[in-house]
Amino acid sequence: MAPASNTKLSDPERNYRLPSHGVLFPGGGSGARLFVLELRQRPERGFSGVQILVRDRAVVSPPCFHRKLLCRLAGHRDPAVSGGEGAGDEGKPHFADFNLVPEGWGAYVHPWIRAMSAAYPLLEEIKLKRMVVTDESLELIARSFKNFKVLVLSSCEGFTTDGLASIAANCRNLRELDLRESEVEDLSGHWLSHFPDNCTSLVSLNMSCLGSEVSFSALERLVARCPNLRTLRLNRAVPLEKLPNLLHRAPQLVELGTGAYSADIRSDIFSNLAEAFSVCKQLKGLSGFWDVVPAFLPAMYSVCSGITSLNLSYATIQSPDLVKLVSQCRNLQRLWVLDYIEDSGLEALAASCKDLQELRVFPSDPFGAEPNVALTEQGLVSVSEGCPKLQSVLYFCRQMSNAALVTIARNRPEMIRFRLCIIEPQAPDYLTLEPLDTGFGAIVENCKELRRLSMTGLLTDKVFEYIGNHAKKLEMLSIAFAGDSDLGLHHVLSGCKSLRKLEIRDCPFGDKALLANAAKLETMRSLWMSSCSVSFGACKLLGQKMPRLNVEVIDERGPPDSRPESCPVEKLYVYRTVAGRRADMPGFVWMMDGDKALAFS
């Protein structure tokens, strides 16, 4: 649910408390040697509320993990510990979303689940991101954790609807099942019928990623018997004419993801839909809208005044209809939309939605040679001028200027996340043909609270000097097709004191800056470099110099030591570790061990 209008969007990378206690705990099962667990105390509750945090799975075993896993406990072997809270964990690097991490790299969750099932039978929550999750893992979860309540699989792969059926059948207290953006093999649409008839505990169900039809009768019965259901995100196969049936059975919904939003244009379908929406008085978030027929959009206007989050990233709605829709949503705080909104739609957004905090504009045709929409830098400038609470931006466009970036920076100095993707690599300021250094320099100089930055366009080492000098709170930086030399990377690593994740692709950064700033890498979570100028010899030296780092060379051309040491590697992934090299490396991954310089999988 979107936050209240007087609150700022939370930063998921900073949403944790300082630990009150730390312990080392031996893990069970093969591939799990050591867990770093931190008990977190709430002063008002003593130790009745405990978080168990596995910090940076790159740090602990299974060492293919590289972020945190917060596990919820309803009980503990220590009688003083009873209750808990949970959060999530990430497996593959972020660039896996862009197909830059080869298939089979790792991030297998099963050894971790096996270890946790032995150590913590009262585990309640597991939240995973970019992990390989098998049906065997899901079945183990279903069998092992008797009071299991929350399963979130975000951008995961490797499992089928049979695994989901095991969760449904055996997790009798399940409150949340969220499969957002995961790749699920659909073997049967009847997995929902495995929820027992006495299952009434669901609060959130997200199956929007499923490609095939589900049993609508089973879905309808499940929704009807769960009075506390607040979030329901359907998949594309659920037809529009059946949506009213679900809304009448769950008028208490707060978040709704529609299925296909198309049907034959008939007055009875429209009136049934409008009447069903009118009874949903608590709706705050809408998403879905696949295959949308604009004639049915006014049916939802009755709820628009209460909507704070609107995700239209799969909705091919043209600008005139988008203008009508967003003009109805005057309390909107978060909008995800395709570039069909165009500059005119963003101008309407700026005029109507003064509480907007987050804007994401995605490309409808990223591979098209010519622009298919009238979206430019002016749309983003308009939003920065009209939306005083804006603090998070992801914007895909085909042109940008330094003047526009300077204006945005001056309009919104409280920006926390700014990600700009100009579709044509190394595109200059389209007005002056100069690099975009000045514009991005203005962003980091004016936005003192900036935590995340993604940059594209024609950029020289000068912009990295600006970043190193001004972006003192920057935690994550993504760079592509930028810079002139090692000096750019040196500015970032030596200047950004809070940097935790650095992602670089197709940049001329190489050995000198990497080795000179090796100590900085121990303060970070990870460094990813692909198609850069880092040599195999430098990777070996880094592994020898920094034994507490896992230095992985990912190269599908064969063993890197079969080529000259000066030859650049395809990909380099560096992350912290106390457990040493991981045991699940495929044949195209080589670990630069401190003792042996090169370890084969």
Query: Rounded to the nearest 10 degrees, what angle do helices 319-328 and 342-352 cross at?
Result: 10
Rg (Cα) of the chain, in Å, rounded? 25
- Dihedral of CA 114/117/119/124: which sign? positive
> Mind listing the pLDDT tens digit for each residue in 445-488?
999 999 999 999 999 999 999 999 999 999 999 999 999 999 99
Total domains, the chain: 1
What pLDDT, on the 0 to 100 scale, is given for residue 594? 54
Q: Would you say residue 299 lies in a domain? A: yes
Residue 48: pLDDT above 70? no
Average pLDDT, the chain: 84
Tokens of 201: 């505990």
Q: Would you say residue 271 lies in a domain? A: yes
> Mind listing the pLDDT tens digit for each residue in 336-350?
999 999 999 999 999
What pLDDT, on the 0 to 100 scale, is given for residue 60? 38
What pLDDT, on the 0 to 100 scale, is given for residue 584? 80
Q: Would you say residue 424 lies in a domain? A: no
Tokens of 123: 């585990």
Q: How far apart are CA 87 and CA 108, in angstroms?
A: 19
Q: How far apart are CA 342 and CA 364, in angstroms?
A: 11
Classified as helix, coil or strand, 361 is strand
**Where in the sequence is the domain holding 245, given as residue range(s)?**
239-307
Q: How far apart are CA 9 and CA 408, in angstroms?
A: 19
Question: How long, in residues, is the chain?
Answer: 601
Those residues whose C-beta lies under 8 Å from the C-beta of residue 212, and which sit 6 or more positions away, are: 186, 189, 237
pTM of the model as a whole = 0.85
Q: Would you say residue 176 lies in a domain? A: no
Amino acid symbol at 472: K
Q: How far apart are CA 342 and CA 374, in angstroms?
A: 5
- Dihedral of CA 299/301/302/306: which sign? positive
Those residues whose C-beta lies under 8 Å from the C-beta of residue 460, and which sit 6 or more positions away, are: 435, 437, 483, 484, 488
Q: Would you say residue 253 lies in a domain? A: yes
Q: How far apart are CA 438 and CA 463, in angstroms?
A: 7
Q: Would you say residue 391 lies in a domain? A: no
Backbone region of residue 130 per phi and psi (left: phi > 0; alpha: psi in -120 to 50; beta: other values): left
For residues 106 and 581, is the Cβ–Cβ distance under 8 A?
A: no
> Mind listing the pLDDT tens digit for each residue in 284-329?
999 999 999 999 999 999 999 999 999 999 999 999 999 999 999 9
Question: How many Cβ atoms from other residues are within 10 Å of residue 497's Cβ?
Answer: 12
Those residues whose C-beta lies under 8 Å from the C-beta of residue 563, and which sit 6 or more positions away, are: 536, 557
At residue 574 the predicted structure's pLDDT band, cuts being 50, 70 and 90, is: very high
Q: Would you say residue 180 lies in a domain? A: no
Q: How far is CA 113 from the centre of its chain?
A: 22
Element at 51 (helix H, strand E): strand 51-54
> Mind listing the pLDDT tens digit for each residue in 73-123?
222 223 222 333 332 456 777 777 777 787 878 888 999 899 989 888 999
CA atoms within a 13 Å half-sphere pointing along the CA-CB vector of 315: 29
Exposure of 558 by Cβ count < 10 A (0-12 exposed, 13-18 middle, 19+ buried)? exposed
Q: How far apart are CA 262 and CA 281, in angstroms?
A: 23
For residues 140 and 117, is the Cβ–Cβ distance under 8 A?
A: yes
Provide DSSP, 249-306: H-TT-SEEE-SB------HHHHHHHHHHHHT-TT--EEE--BT--GGGGGGGGGGGGG
Q: Would you say residue 165 lies in a domain? A: no
